């Protein structure tokens, strides 16, 4: 079983739409959680950390459900510039000392 699983998409949505991505992780000892954004042929960049109580950063909202081992990212009022691949990342430290990456969910926002 993969450490982190994401729906690869692609998601094609019109500008202004709300879109949600989901991610599940297998290791219940996982300690920290992130969403990264990766543009085509570029390095991953941190979008936001995910906290147990849920957190919001402008149009982006992240949620964590430890009982179901599930992470989500909600993007409201989608912009053309949101088009990218979104990576779910889980850190299993102290048992693993490494980040596990999902394969990513592709989003294209259409004019």
Name the site residues for other proteins (rule: CB under 8 A): 4, 8, 31-32, 34, 41-46, 49, 87, 89, 91, 93-94, 97-104
**Minimum gap (Å) between residue 61 Cβ and other proteins:** 18
Please, which residue, 12 or 93, has the CB nearer to other proteins?
93
**Minimum gap (Å) between residue 87 Cβ and other proteins:** 7
**Minimum gap (Å) between residue 21 Cβ and other proteins:** 14
**Minimum gap (Å) between residue 18 Cβ and other proteins:** 25
Please, which residue, 17 or 38, has the CB nearer to other proteins?
38
Please, which residue, 22 or 91, has the CB nearer to other proteins?
91
Q: How far is CA 63 from CA 1, 80, 85, 90, 109, in A?
A: 23, 23, 18, 13, 22
In the sheet that holds 19-25, the strands lie side by side as: 4-6, 19-25, 70-75, 60-65, 55-57
* Rounded to 5°, angle at Cα 53 from 67 and 33: 70
User: Tokens 């490494």 label which residue?
Assistant: 98
Please give the Cα distance from 107 to 111 (Å, whole number): 13
Please, which residue, 46 or 80, has the CB nearer to other proteins?
46
């Amino acid at each position: 079983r993969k450490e982190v699983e994401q729906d690869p998409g692609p998601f094609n949505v019109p500008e202004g739409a709300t879109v949600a991505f989901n991610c599940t992780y297998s290791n219940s000892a996982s300690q920290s959680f992130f969403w990264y954004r990766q543009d085509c042929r570029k390095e991953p960049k941190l979008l936001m950390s995910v906290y147990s109580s849920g957190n919001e950063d402008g149009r982006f909202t992240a949620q964590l459900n430890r009982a179901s081992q599930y992470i989500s990212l909600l993007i409201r009022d989608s912009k053309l510039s949101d088009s990218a691949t979104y990576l779910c990342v889980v850190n299993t430290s102290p048992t693993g000392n490494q980040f596990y990456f999902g394969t990513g969910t592709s989003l294209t926002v259409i004019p």
